[in-house]
Each structure stands twice: as structure tokens, then as C-alpha cells.
Structure 1
Amino acid sequence: MLSTHATPATDATAVPAPRSAEAPARQASPPQRDPFLDNAKYLAFVLVAAGHAWEPLREGSRSITALYTLVYAFHMPVFALISGYLSRGFEATPRNIGRLLTGIAAPYVLFETAYTFFTRWTSHDPERPITLFDPLYLTWFLAALFIWRLTTPIWQTLRHPLPIALTIAAAATLSPSVGNDLDLQRVAQFLPYFVLGLRLKPHHLHLPARREARLLAVPLFAGALALAYWAVPRMNYAWFFHNTSATSLAAPAWYGPLMTLATFGCSLALVLGFLAWVPRRRTWFTAFGAGTLYGYLLHGFVAQAAEYWGWYDAGWIRGPAGILALTGLAAAVVTALCAPAVRRPFRKAMKWAVARLLTR
């Protein structure tokens, strides 16, 4: 997914409500959330969950792998772009830094530790160390978002930040030495989407809403799915993970910069197609978009437990009916995890913990 507004990683997609010319400032309405952004976050999060549900089914299934590749080509770019858009007004003030600690840093520490203990159990690896510098599983996005947000004033100062961000991303693919510390490969390679979001204006988000854009999105996704199906035996879909160098993918180093530009163009087209079909009005799922942070972080436990308990061992789960049932179950679970009753106690706990550390 971003003042800690943030994709799955934070849930404050508020935009200022216009003031009445006759009303005094003190009577202005509180900030209102943008239903379009909440809808986009929720729907992209459902795709995240679907991708994790399909992951154990990829082996031996070209169709599932094609769907998996298509989803991974754009769902995290959606979150990074929205995160950037909602970071446009970020300034490194004590108040904003406090929100950053509450909304991103504290959940990162908590869930990085929790996932380490949980992975020790599910992988029978009791020696796995607890470290905050090697993000485990889902928590990489929190580390990336923290770094992106802190560097926002720099990107806002530059005249042409997007070409510079693309250069950094391309350079990362040339550098196998960029290792697991804070998952800097992903931080660098997803950076262009965040920076692009920083450069967007509100009217840019309305461009994909045009009828022509919605119509074009249909053949776009149909063609992308067909291309993904064709590419399954011919291309390594790990390029869309953006988590390693070109040589680590058994490709010549010079492939890295080329694939950076190719995947950026491909992913951006799919992001626009996705946004074209996101509802602009409030819907039954709009409220769940406000809770994607903790839904995102919590659903990983369910995904890991499902594999550990052998839920994928049944033969029927690999058939069309099983895949549809699994996808529907994943959507239902993450929807429940985004509910206010789930996110509210976690937010209070994070605020309490950070309040003990901040100066008065």
C-alpha cells in the first residue's frame, strides 16, 4: 500500500475537507478519508492474500503460476505508489516522526519478533535468530516504507526525482553485495513507484476513472494474463519480486537495468488498469481499507499455518473448484482481519508503547 498514511502499512488516508467560506477555522470539519484510496488499498490487499494462498500451488500448474505472476507484477507497486501519494505533505517534524514511530516502526519491531518465533515453530528451526535488520516475510514493506518516508523531503527537493529513483533501482540490480540488511534491494527497486506517487496530483488519480480507461483495462489484463501464461516456462517471474540482483537470478548483470525499465513500464500499465476499475464512491468494503496495516501483518500467520498444518495436501484443492474456494477463503479471512475490532487494540498498543519512548 501511507502522516503515517501507508498502504498495508498504515491506515490514515485522510484528506482535508474543504472549509466553508462562512465558517470559522475552528469549526472546520475533521479530515475525511478518500474512499477511492481505501477501496484501492483493500482490493490490492485481497490480491496480496490471494497470491500468498496460490503460492504453494504454483509447482506443476502453469495456470496458477501465470495468475501469480500477473498479480505480483502490480499489487505491491500499487501500495508503493499510494504510499508515495499520501506522503506528499510529509515533513520531518516531531509530530510526524512520532506518527512514523507509532504507525510503522513499532509494528515492525513487534511483528518482526513475532514472525521470528512463529517461523521457528512452523519451520522447526529453533535457532533462527531475532534480528531487526533482516526483515522476515511480510515485514520488509514496513522497513521500506520507513526509509521512503524519512527520505521524502529529499525527493521533494529534487527537480527530476523519478529518473534518479529509477537509476538507483537499476544500480541495485547490478549490486549483489546489496544484501538482506533492511531488505535494501526491495527498498531500492520499489523506490520508483513511491517517488512517482509523490509527484502525483489529485487530478491524476481521476484520469484512470474515464470510461475509455476502464474499457482499455479489460484487454490490457487479458493480454497480460496471456503473456504471463506464455512466459511461465520462458521467464523467471522473480524479476517482479525486486528482491535480488540480476546475477542472483542467473542472468547477465546488464539485464538488470533493462529489466528495471521493462518491469516498471509493465507494472505501471497494470497499476493504471487496476485503478481504473477501483470504485470512487463508498462501498461495503471501503471501511476495511482503513485497516490494511494490521490485516496485512496478521494474515501472514494464517498463510504460514495453512502450509504447516497441511491444508494444501488434499488433491481437490488443486482443481478449479478448490482454487476458487481457497481464493474466496483468503479474501474472507483478510477482510475479517481488517475489521475495526481487530485493528483498534493493536493501534492502541502501538501508541502506548511509543508514548513511553517519546519526549513530552
Structure 2
Amino acid sequence: MPFWDNARFACIVLVVLGHGIQRLTYDSDIAYALYLSIYAFHMPAFAVISGYFSKAASPSTRQMTRIITDIIVPYLIFEALWTLTKLLVEGHADPNLTQPSWTLWFLLALGIFRLVLPYLALLRWPLVWALVISVGVGYVSNVNSTFSLSRTLGLLFFFTFGWWLREHDIIRRFRLVEHRPWWLRTIAALVLAGWLFVCWRWLTVWQQIDLTHWFFYEDSYAHLTGEVHWWAGAVRLGFMALALVLTSAFFALLPRSERRWTTLGQYTMYVYLLHSFVLYPFRESGVLRGLDPTWLWLPTVTLLAVAIAFLLASGPIRRVFRPLIEPRPRWMFADAALVSTSDHRNDPTGSRRAAGS
């Protein structure tokens, strides 16, 4: 179904865009509002897609092998690259595999999601249990960014929700992709536009409560509010509901048929792992600070972010970086036949590609 590849690529564009405009938010209210509007739902949307293409059955030997080759090995490779980059650029590095560098947290999250899902699926109400975990983890201050555990558990509900949609065949039974009349798309557009207006109109309030960090799903409630308040879980629950509404509106506007860029949705791993290296010099050099006027620079950075996503998913980039992003370390395994050199990985959201693509 081309829709899901379209959704994958649209989401990875939002990831690049969010990281690209982050430095603009210090000097531009409009950029900050756009940043908030994106961060409210783009990673929950990714988690939903990831869960939709995940299976809850006990993993086979080959599936366990793929967790090593698709997640753990790339994580180690790119942590090493980030250590080298910081050493060369900043003159120092503090390598620590328990603290993922920048975007690498999502690799660990995917691994944990897939390990936890078979156990959740055994329970009578897996969605309820996932929701309890995602909301309840905020009350536990010693669950933190180590191995990105706090963020992973905070987003666990969205991953489980995606799996639940597939498990109960909700998308097909209710024709949620095929049947999207004009009035539904209009409502979806109004919802997204309305949220962007809310972000801009009450920006001072959002800055005061540090809304961005609520959307990271990373910090405990004690860190976010100064102390543990009983009502903090209800706040997160509200933001989670908002993320589902915005994700649904975003998906409703995506094309369901194939486009020229549809196949790029099968290569989001390349964009995900490489874009941070492209943006790193711009973010750290300060060239994105103090850019004025906003009406010129915000669209410019937006277009560049989209261009970066297209470039990093292109064939030439894939051929050059495939050994790093799709490693096949047969030497690591007692049974080397478990690692096929012609077998391509799942991308970060669980997409499967045919061999030779």
C-alpha cells in the first residue's frame, strides 16, 4: 500500500525539518511555533507506523538476528562516528554507550519496543497496560535517559497502538485509507492549522511551562514541574491524546496513491541516521542564529530540510553508506547463514524491502 511509504517519508521530512529549524526558534516566534507544532506529534506518528508493521509473536532466530544487525550494530557504528566527530570538531569526546547521541535514541527505542511487544500482547488489555506504563513512568524519577528508557516507555503506547490497529484490522475494516472525503481532509487541515495557531498565539505560556520538553517524553514529572504533582500524569495523557488527533489529521492529508517520491519512504533509515551529521555543522557553528527576516529564512531552511531528506534517501547515498547503515557482520554469528548479504533491513518504522532494491 503506497500510503504507508508516503507516511514514512513525510514523517522523516518532519524529523529533519524539526532539527533544522531548532536554532531558529531562539530568535523567531513563528519558527518556535512551527517547532512546537511538529514536535507535538511527529515521533508519536513514527511510533504508530513502527507498531503497525511489528509482530507480537515470539521472535524467531532470524528475527532476533535482525535486532542485532538492524539495530544494535548500527547503533554501535554511529555512536563511534559521533565520538570521532565530536573529538575532531570540539576537541573532546565523552563516549558513553548508555547515553545515545542525538537521534540515536530511537534505534534503542525500536529494539526495546520489539522486545516488549510479545509480552504486552499476552495481556488481556495491552493498550491499557501500555498507556499505564507511558503515563506512569513520568512519576519515577530514576527512569531517565540511560539507554533512552524514559523516552522509550513514554512512547510505548503509540507503538502498541499501531500494532493494535494492524492486529484488529482497523484500517482495512473501516477503510480509513481508501475513504477520505473532501470534508474529512478539510477538517484535518483545519486541525493542523488550528494547532499551529494555538502554538503561536500562546507562545509565551508554552515557553513558561517548557512545553517542548513535555513533547520529548524524556523527563520525569518532577523535572518538568519542579516536584511530583499527582495531576502531571493527566497532563501527559492530554498531550498523548493531542498527538493522536494530530497524527490522524496528518495521515488524512497524505496521498494514498503512489507518487514519484513514494519509494523513498522505504529508505528512511538513511535519512534518519545521516541527517544529523549534515545539520551538525550548521547547528554548532551559529550560522542559524540571528537570521532576519523570518519570512525569508524560515521558508529557506524548510526547503533545505526537505532537500536534505530527498538527497539522503537517494540511490547514490544509499550505495555509499549501505555498509554502515545496513551492515551484514556474518563473522559475529555462530551460524553465519542467519545473516544474508542480499537481505535488506527493516527501516526504522518496520518497512520491508525486497532483495536487490
Q: Same fold (TM over 0.5)?
A: yes
CA distance in 2, matches of 1:118, 1:352: 20
**Offset at 1:326?**
1.0
Q: 8 Å contact 2:73–2:327 — kept in the other structure? A: no
Counterpart of 2:131 in structure 1 is 166
Q: 8 Å contact 2:34–2:196 — kept in the other structure? A: yes
Q: What TM-score, normalized by structure 1, do the two folds share? A: 0.84
Counterpart of 2:248 in structure 1 is 272
**Offset at 1:174?**
0.9
Counterpart of 1:207 in structure 2 is 176
CA distance in 2, matches of 1:137, 1:174: 24
Cα distance change of structure 1 residues 333 and 350 upon mapping to structure 2, 3 Å threshold: closer
Q: Secondary structure at the match of 2:332?
A: coil
Cα distance change of structure 1 residues 321 and 130 upon mapping to structure 2, 3 Å threshold: same
Counterpart of 2:295 in structure 1 is 320
Q: Secondary structure at the match of 1:200?
A: helix
1:104-183 aligned at under 5 Å gives the runs 104-122=71-89, 124=90, 126=92, 128-183=93-148
**Offset at 1:304?**
1.1
Q: 8 Å contact 2:42–2:247 — kept in the other structure? A: yes
**Offset at 1:140?**
0.3
CA distance in 1, matches of 2:260, 2:170: 25
**Offset at 1:91?**
3.5
Amino acid at match of 1:332: A
CA distance in 2, matches of 1:343, 1:306: 23
CA distance in 2, matches of 1:303, 1:331: 12
Aligned counterpart in structure 2 of residue 355 of structure 1, from 308, 330, 335 = 330
1:243-262 superposed Cα distances (whole Å, 9 cap, x missing partner): 10111123442243112210
Q: Name structure 2 gaps, 5 residues minimum.
A: 336-357
Amino acid at match of 1:244: D
Aligned counterpart in structure 1 of residue 16 of structure 2, from 44, 49, 62 = 49
Aligned counterpart in structure 2 of residue 216 of structure 1, from 187, 191, 194 = 187
Amino acid at match of 1:79: F
CA distance in 1, matches of 2:49, 2:277: 25
RMSD between aligned residues: 1.9
Q: 8 Å contact 1:246–1:255 — kept in the other structure? A: no
Q: Secondary structure at the match of 1:178?
A: coil
Q: Name structure 1 gaps, 5 residues minimum.
A: 1-33
Amino acid at match of 2:74: P
Identity %: 31
**Offset at 1:268?**
0.1
CA distance in 2, matches of 1:346, 1:98: 21
Q: Secondary structure at the match of 2:259?
A: coil
Q: Secondary structure at the match of 2:204?
A: coil
CA distance in 2, matches of 1:285, 1:157: 38
CA distance in 2, matches of 1:155, 1:346: 35
Amino acid at match of 1:105: I
Amino acid at match of 1:246: Y
Counterpart of 1:262 in structure 2 is 238
Counting matched residue pairs gives 324
Cα distance change of structure 1 residues 352 and 104 upon mapping to structure 2, 3 Å threshold: closer
1:165-190 superposed Cα distances (whole Å, 9 cap, x missing partner): 11111221112211221011101101
Q: 8 Å contact 2:77–2:324 — kept in the other structure? A: no
1:276-315 aligned at under 5 Å gives the runs 276-313=252-289, 315=291
CA distance in 1, matches of 2:322, 2:16: 22
**Offset at 1:203?**
4.3
**Offset at 1:144?**
0.5
Q: 8 Å contact 1:239–1:259 — kept in the other structure? A: no
CA distance in 2, matches of 1:65, 1:349: 34
Aligned counterpart in structure 2 of residue 342 of structure 1, from 270, 292, 317 = 317
**Offset at 1:232?**
1.8
Counterpart of 2:217 in structure 1 is 242
Cα distance change of structure 1 residues 213 and 359 upon mapping to structure 2, 3 Å threshold: farther
Amino acid at match of 1:219: L
